[in-house]
């Protein structure tokens, strides 16, 4: 079985679940170092923990996440230093407010308002600023207006679709360009992938894709072509530049790049292991770079502490920096728990 996490950009990450022997152990997908704990911190609640210590807590609203088709919504975000955001929903399951736990008088967080079709029409923050949104009859977002009307972005669509035709930004180009609005226009293939995008000056970038809908060829406004080749996991293997130079890459089984060879054969190497060994072995640093070695053999080393915070950096000349972090917060001293405190040599 699997559980799919949909991130803030709409990406889908599938976590494998062992449902055959009763353990319900969860395994993250290849190249991800986050952990998903079911029924934690309580039954019906599930916690996704990232390497930096931030946790997303999901609530299944009394349903059993082990039953196919069950969904759990994000109910809280908290960091390892006690800061927390709580998300509230209405009876229709729509997010209506986001509040922190700082307890500052009058700080009510963010409030979201919807129309009869369930589309966000307004977001207000605790200072009185507001963002408003308008839609066409097909439900496409047509306008976003920022606080006090100072920033407005407009959208048009290809007829009969939800595919963006143009995006108009609030900025104007300099007078030398006749003060034209900053706009971008999009064209699409028949499979709805973007074919090209053109700015207000007519500069176009054209995109080609492979069978898996990954971009493999990009033609810039000057006619320069970059060609990309990927492995079966989507990791970049080759990049051919417009001048003909060929860059090649080697990746670990987790998709982490451990070598890069430029167009004249110079190789840069990377390690993602505590012992700083270079090669295709799995990372034991949570995917963090511990060593970068240039083509001349000079190396930069990085050590990490809790929550992937760098604690020591050794540059290519052998100079070392040691980094410490605040253990407590102190408003008078401007100290914030977990933030950088001091850097020494």
pLDDT digit string, tens, across residues 186-205: 999 999 989 999 988 889 99
pLDDT at 215: 66
Q: Residue 172: pLDDT above 70?
A: yes
User: Which SS3 state, helix, strand or coil, does residue 148 take?
Assistant: helix
What pLDDT is stored for residue 7 in this prediction? 93
Cβ neighbours, 10 Å, residue 155: 17
Q: How many CB atoms lie within 10 A of CB 22?
A: 7
Q: Following DSSP, what letter does each residue of 127-143 receive, concatenated? A: TS-EEEEEE-TTS-EEE
- Residue 330: DSSP 8-state: B
Q: What is the DSSP string of 249-270?
A: EEE-TTS-EEEEE-TTS-EEEE
The candidate with the shortest Cα–Cα distance to 109, out of 144, 85, 74, is 85
Q: What is the predicted pLDDT for the residue at 51?
A: 94
- Kindly state the DSSP code that residue 281 receives in the 8-state scheme: S
For 59-106, the pLDDT digits (tens) are 999 999 989 999 999 999 999 999 999 999 999 999 999 999 988 888
Instruction: State the Cα–Cα distance between residues 272 and 283, nearest whole angstrom.
Output: 5
Phi, psi (5° rounding) for residue 136? -90, 180
Distance CA 262, CA 245 (A): 8
- Sorted by sequence, the CB contacts under 8 Å of residue 177 that are 6+ apart come out as 200, 201
Residue 165 binned pLDDT confidence (cut-offs 50, 70, 90): very high
Residue in 116, 73, 117 with CA at minimum distance from that of residue 93: 73
**Closest to 121 (Cα-Cα) out of 92, 142, 91:** 142
- Number of Cβ within 10 Å of residue 99's Cβ equals 16
Share of the chain above pLDDT 70, in %: 97
Binned at pLDDT 50, 70 and 90, residue 332 comes out as: confident
DSSP one-letter string for 69-99: T---EEEEEE-TTS-EEEEEE-TTS-EEEEE
Q: Mean of the per-residue pLDDT values for the chain?
A: 93
Written as one string, the DSSP assignment of 53-69 is S-EEEEE-TT--TTSTT
Residue 213 has pLDDT above 60, yes or no: no
Dist CA 272 CA 217 (whole Å): 30
Q: Residue ranges of the domains in the chain?
A: 1-82, 301-345
| pLDDT recorded at residue 312 | 98
What are the residues whose beta carbons fall under 8 Å from the beta carbon of 316, sequence distance 6 or more? 294, 298, 299, 300
């Amino acid at each position: 079985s699997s559980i799919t996490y949909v991130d803030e950009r709409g990406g889908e990450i599938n976590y494998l679940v062992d449902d055959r022997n009763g353990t319900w152990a969860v395994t993250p997908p290849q190249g991800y170092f986050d952990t998903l704990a079911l029924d934690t911190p309580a039954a019906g609640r599930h916690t996704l923990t990232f390497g930096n210590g931030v946790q997303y807590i999901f609530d299944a609203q009394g349903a059993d996440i082990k039953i196919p088709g069950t969904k759990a919504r994000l109910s809280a975000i908290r960091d390892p230093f006690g800061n927390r955001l709580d998300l509230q929903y209405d009876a229709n399951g729509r997010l209506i407010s986001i509040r922190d736990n700082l307890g500052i008088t009058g700080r009510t967080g963010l409030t979201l308002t919807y129309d009869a079709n369930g589309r966000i029409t307004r977001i207000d923050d605790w200072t009185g600023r507001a963002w408003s949104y308008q839609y066409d009859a097909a439900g496409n977002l047509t306008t976003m207006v920022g606080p006090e009307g100072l920033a407005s972005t407009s959208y048009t669509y290809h007829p009969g679709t939800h595919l963006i035709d143009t995006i108009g930004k609030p900025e104007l180009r300099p007078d030398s360009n006749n003060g034209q609005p900053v706009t971008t226009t999009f064209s699409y293939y028949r499979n709805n992938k973007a074919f090209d995008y053109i700015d207000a000056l007519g500069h176009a970038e054209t995109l080609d894709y492979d069978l898996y809908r990954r971009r493999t060829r990009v033609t810039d406004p000057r006619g320069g072509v970059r060609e990309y080749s990927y492995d079966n996991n989507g990791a970049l293997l080759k990049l051919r530049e417009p001048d003909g130079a060929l860059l090649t890459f080697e990746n670990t089984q987790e998709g982490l790049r451990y070598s890069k060879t430029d167009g004249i054969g110079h190789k840069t190497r990377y390690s993602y292991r505590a012992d700083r060994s270079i090669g295709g072995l799995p990372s034991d640093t949570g995917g963090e770079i511990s060593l970068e070695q240039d083509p001349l053999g000079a190396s930069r080393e990085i050590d990490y502490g809790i929550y992937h915070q760098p604690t020591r950096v050794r540059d290519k000349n052998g100079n070392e920096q040691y980094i410490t972090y605040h253990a407590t917060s102190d408003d008078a001293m401007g100290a914030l728990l977990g933030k950088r405190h001091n850097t020494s040599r």
